[in-house]
Structures are given as C-alpha cells and as structure tokens.
C-alpha cells in the first residue's frame, strides 16, 4: 500500500487478467509478455466455479506466490456460484442468478442458513489465502465483481442492507475469524450507471476503489472525477477494461494506480501497436 500510494498521480501499473482455465494460470500474462517484450506488473486470477477450475485453484494460488517473488502484485477474485448451490456450478443459473429477497435477508443475517453456508464457503477460500499469508504474499482481493451489475447473485442491491453489507461481512469474517492481514480489499463498480454511492461499503472497508470500463464512451473525465470524489483519500484503479486507455488519456487521468485489461479482450479490442506502445511507455509500470 505504501508503494501504491507513492506512485499515485505519477505512474500507472499495467496488469492483465488470466481468465480460465485455471489449469493454465499464466496464459494471458505470457501472451502480453511475448507481444510487448515487457511483463505486466500485476497478475490477476480467479477462484471460479467450474469443476476443472475449482480443481486447479492451487495452481493460481501458487502462481500468485511465484509472481510475487518475481516482483508482480497478485490479485484474486471470486466469480463463484451463489450459496444456494454447491461451490461447483455453472455461469448462467449459478453465478448469474438472482436470490429472492428472503434468501438475501437470510444471507446477510448473522446465524441465517445462507449466512452460515457463505461463511463455510469463505472457510474454503481462507485456506488458500492463509497459505499466501504464511508465504508473506500480499493480495489485491476483489471478492465481489461489479457490485452494481445486477446479473450477478451478489450485485445490484442498493443501500446499507444490500450488496455492500455482504461485502462488509465478508471482510469482517476473513479478518476477524481467520486473522488474515495480507489482503488489500478492492471495492469494484462498473460504468453501466453512476449510482455508485448506493454500493459504498464505507471507507474503513475498502483500500482501493476500482472501476470496470466497458461502456463505449470509455475513459471520460466525468467517470474519473466521480471516482476521485467518492474515493477521497483512497486509491482508485481501472479494475477491468477491454479497450485500453491511450497514453494521452493516462496522462490526463494520472490517479489510476493500476489498469487491468481483461484477458483475451485485451488482444481482441486493441491493436498490437497500441498494446506495445502502452507497455513500453515511460508513464506506465511493468515488471
């Protein structure tokens, strides 16, 4: 965190997400390295939900350790199925599913059936996170992807008893029960609307506020200013994007502490030349 604060407003870290399969945990990192001649400075992966990806969770965790020792900053996310199902499941109807209001209340109420199931699920994830803690590996931890994106079971619920409450109880449980102190918590929003305050987990519950930029208007000054306004003294970052910002846009918006492009979309939505120039710019940070 000291390092991230020290570069805020000066330079921006470049990273890429390594989307499934977890069996090949460095697929996209290697691809961007081959193209640009530069290794990204941020490594990202996800616990995920398909049988083969759950079976390979140790691979991404060991990759986090490897990359940290190499000098990268690791990030882990939780695109996982709703606690009304088993930990292994499917995308449509598992990750993208809606809980009833009654199920949601049960989930965020201490002692509720779904509340207990979610905590048991967190016990499972904590095993991996504790391993990284014991290996002295800090992790950018983003438990709830795009908290305003209602397609996901955890997201789209506004107000203090909504998505932000699940975020808060998750952080409390991991830190208070499992004594994890190596997690840098990321609060994440998508640019599909601007009601971001409705999902604010309060300042003490997040360390970095990140925005996923997928709207066609891209990296507007309005989004940047709104991020800064909400974040205050907290750091801000581009949690995901398909189209990368230009070097000029980064110069105009220097407070983005990192930019993480999304896996294969990096190469589908940007020219090789643009990626190469960005990874070799003096305003961005690679490994």
Query: In the chain, which ranges are E strands?
Result: 12-17, 42-46, 73-77, 139-142, 183-190, 208-213, 235-241, 256-261, 284-285
Distance of alpha carbon 118 from the chain centroid: 19
When pLDDT is cut at 50, 70 and 90, the band that residue 183 belongs to is very high
How many Cα atoms within 13 Å fall on the side-chain side of residue 62?
8
Distance of alpha carbon 253 from alpha carbon 12, whole angstroms: 10
Task: Name 281's bridge partners.
Answer: none
pLDDT in tens, 185-222: 999 999 999 999 999 999 999 999 999 999 999 999 99
pLDDT (tens digit per residue) in 66-102 = 999 999 999 999 999 999 999 999 999 999 999 999 9
| CATH code of the domain covering residue 35 | 3.20.20.80
Q: How does pLDDT run across 26-47, given as a tens digit for each residue?
A: 999 999 999 999 999 999 999 9
Query: For position 93, what pLDDT does the model report?
Result: 97
Number of domains in the chain: 1
Which residue segment(s) compose the domain that 119 sits in?
2-285
- Positive or negative CA dihedral for 52, 55, 17, 166? positive
Q: Give the tens place of pLDDT for each residue, 219-251.
A: 999 999 999 999 999 999 999 999 999 999 999
Q: How far is CA 272 from CA 63, 212, 268, 277, 279, in A?
A: 26, 22, 9, 9, 11
The three-point CA angle 53-178-41 to 5° equals 55
């Amino acid at each position: 965190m000291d390092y991230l604060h020290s570069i805020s407003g000066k330079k921006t870290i470049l990273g890429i997400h390594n989307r499934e399969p977890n069996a090949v945990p460095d697929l996209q990192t290697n691809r961007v390295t081959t193209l640009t001649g530069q290794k990204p400075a941020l490594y990202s992966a996800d616990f995920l939900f398909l049988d083969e990806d759950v079976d390979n969770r140790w691979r991404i965790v060991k990759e986090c350790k490897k990359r940290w020792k190499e000098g990268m900053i690791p990030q882990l996310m939780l695109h996982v199925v709703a606690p009304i199902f088993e930990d292994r499941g499917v995308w449509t109807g598992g990750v993208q599913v809606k809980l009833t209001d009654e199920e949601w209340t049960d989930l965020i109420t201490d002692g509720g059936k779904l509340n207990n199931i979610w905590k048991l699920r967190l016990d499972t994830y904590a095993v991996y996170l504790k391993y990284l803690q014991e290996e002295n590996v800090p992790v950018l931890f983003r438990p709830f992807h795009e908290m305003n994106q209602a397609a996901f079971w955890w997201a789209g619920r506004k107000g203090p008893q909504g998505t932000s409450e699940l975020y808060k109880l998750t952080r409390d449980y991991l830190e208070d029960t499992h004594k994890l102190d190596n997690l840098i918590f990321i609060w994440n929003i998508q640019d599909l609307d601007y009601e971001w305050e409705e999902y604010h987990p309060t300042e003490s519950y997040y360390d970095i506020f990140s925005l996923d930029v997928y709207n066609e208007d891209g990296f507007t000054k309005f989004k940047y200013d709104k991020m800064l306004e909400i974040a205050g003294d907290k750091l801000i970052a581009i949690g995901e994007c398909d189209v990368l910002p230009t070097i000029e846009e980064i110069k105009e918006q220097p407070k983005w502490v990192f930019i993480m492009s999304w896996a294969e979309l990096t190469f589908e939505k940007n020219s090789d030349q643009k990626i190469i120039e960005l990874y070799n710019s003096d305003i961005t940070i690679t490994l």
